Structure 1
Amino acid sequence: MLTVPNNARPALLATLLLLGTSVAAPASPIITVSWRDKPPYHYLENGMPLGFLLERTQAIFAAAGIATRLAPEPQKRIWANFSHGATNYCSFSWYRLPEREAVSQYTLPISIDPPHSVLVSAAALDRVKSHSTLATLLADQQLTLGVVDGVSYGPELDAMIAHSANQIMRRTVDTTSMMRMLSVGRASFMLVDREDWEYVHRREPILRSTTRLDFPDMPPGLKRYIVCSRDISPQVMEKINQAITATGGAVRSSHGAEDERKGHQHP
């Protein structure tokens, strides 16, 4: 092997450039893309990552030409990573909230949710159905609202929950576990994502005792985004945004499209 003295290397590099020989640039770092368990958006099944928003996000990064490594993590850990200055780090399927914008940067939206629904226990169904609006439902002191701790239902619903007159049962569990608690009467009702409900209801017979209701004053569904750590360059963020646009922009879920065609009805 030919050894080139250090003092001769600049001249050799200049000669290579003059001859048109390319010198390889350092490879771009692999970006870690974290995600929480939220079927059917993104979840593990038999160790395999699945879900329509996970697939969409993978397609976006592929279209942008960015190498990624998937890392399923709990929600609180994901946001702790952003708060503690994680590098080469992104996550996806998040609502836009001021406290999150303070520790991360947002892409263009990748999807739009349908409005939330209200999931009701069998024991509370008659009382919940006596309310024609979400506002009066949240003012009923006799009902218990189940809330998944550590998640956001969107800025408007978060504020409504904070000022609710209901008794609040707040638990650090996933949404499916909260649905199970509701089915055995631990709470009167909860707010539920329609995609979550459709997925879980088909797979858990115990939830057939619950009823999903829609209210006319439910806030509209929110947009979901990819979020990235502050060290990701503007050039890389622009590549991701261009890929989002090229792959369809903020797509609507199938249930959201169906709701728009039929209109929202309270039974």
Structure 2
Amino acid sequence: MLHRCCLVLLASVALTVVAAPAENATAPKALQPVATEQLTIYFNHRPPYYHRNARGEWIGVRYNQLKAILELAGLQYRWQELSVNRILHQLTLSDGNHCSGGWFKTPEREAFAQFSLPFGPNEPATAIVRQEFFNGNSAMLSQLLISPDTRVLTKQGQYYGDYLEEAMKLYNVQRIEVTDEQQAIVHQIALKRGDLMFLNRAEAHYLLEQNPLLNERLNAVDLQDKAPIPDLHFMCNKAMPKALMDKLNDGIQRFREGQPNLAMPVN
């Protein structure tokens, strides 16, 4: 009888020892992080589109546009400031949900990123030049680029739209790529390190109005060319799920419906 009880007890212990690993093997599954739908929205400090107010809060024309779209889309998101080159790098990553708003769609960018619907057109282009280079407030693009000795400062990683890109090639100007922010490039024009640069119209006039000294030495020359104005998109990494992109596009459509001057394009 005692022998039989010992056998039963040993069998129970053996079952307990064998069962324990199976129970522990399932435990890590409950500890796995839950997938999140949060987007990281990258932006670059660029007045008047992204800048801080007196209280240190981010504001700006583009900031407000993107915020309205994201709220209408019902998406969870956070902002992160990065340089243009760092933003482009982040959008090549294969993990996480990364986006940045206000980009032109190009075949080169489509190779590593996906694009939302357009949320609006860009602004007309304006050139910033020294007054001795061109003393006027408006001009045809050909007047500014006619000489092959013209030095055009462009920001690395930035695409200026088909019209300006083709014109710089056509007139064979000296294109000098720099990594500085737009405000610093304006100063380089004043210091004669280049002859002109291109900016969006509101940005060009804003930067000169904020600096009276530069305003005395430089001109914002609005281009008279009837050039097509490219659309602006969110550019996101390809790993971002289709469901999130669909929600983002829904927010864009809602945003454009509330903007009477922004008719959705017909595909």
Which TM-score tier does this pair reach, normalised by the shorter chain?
A: 0.7 to 0.9
Change in 2 beyond 3 A, CA 1:249/1:113 = farther
Distance in 1, matches of 2:75 and 2:61, equals: 20
- 1:184-263 to 2 correspondences below 5 Å: 184-208=191-215, 209-217=217-225, 219-248=227-256
- Shift in Å, 1:95: 1.0
Change in 2 beyond 3 A, CA 1:162/1:174 = farther
Correspondence for 1:74 = 83
Change in 2 beyond 3 A, CA 1:162/1:149 = farther
- 1:9-88 to 2 correspondences below 5 Å: 28-45=36-53, 47-88=56-97
- TM-score when scaled to structure 1? 0.75
Change in 2 beyond 3 A, CA 1:98/1:65 = same
Percent of pairs identical after alignment?
22
Between structure 1 and structure 2, the one with the greater Rg is 2
Distance in 2, matches of 1:119 and 1:252, equals: 31
Distance in 2, matches of 1:47 and 1:60, equals: 23
Deviations 1:89-125 (A, max 9, x none): 1111111111111111111112212220122202212
Correspondence for 2:187 = 180
Gaps of 5+ in 1: 1-5, 8-25, 254-267
Deviations 1:47-91 (A, max 9, x none): 422112112212211222211011111111111122232421111
SS at match of 1:109: coil
- TM-score when scaled to structure 2? 0.75
SS at match of 2:116: strand
Contact 1:143 1:188 in 2 (8 A): yes
Change in 2 beyond 3 A, CA 1:132/1:196 = closer
Q: Which amino acid aligns with 2:160?
A: Y
Deviations 1:125-184 (A, max 9, x none): 25x89x963235323134322222321111332232234333333322111111111123
- 1:131-150 to 2 correspondences below 5 Å: 133-150=140-157
Distance in 2, matches of 1:232 and 1:136, equals: 44
Gaps of 5+ in 2: 1-21, 24-33, 262-267
Q: CA RMSD in A?
A: 2.9
Residue correspondences, number: 230
Asked if 1:119 corresponds to 2:118, the answer is no
Distance in 2, matches of 1:205 and 1:148, equals: 24
Contact 1:90 1:227 in 2 (8 A): yes
Change in 2 beyond 3 A, CA 1:190/1:250 = farther
Contact 1:33 1:70 in 2 (8 A): yes
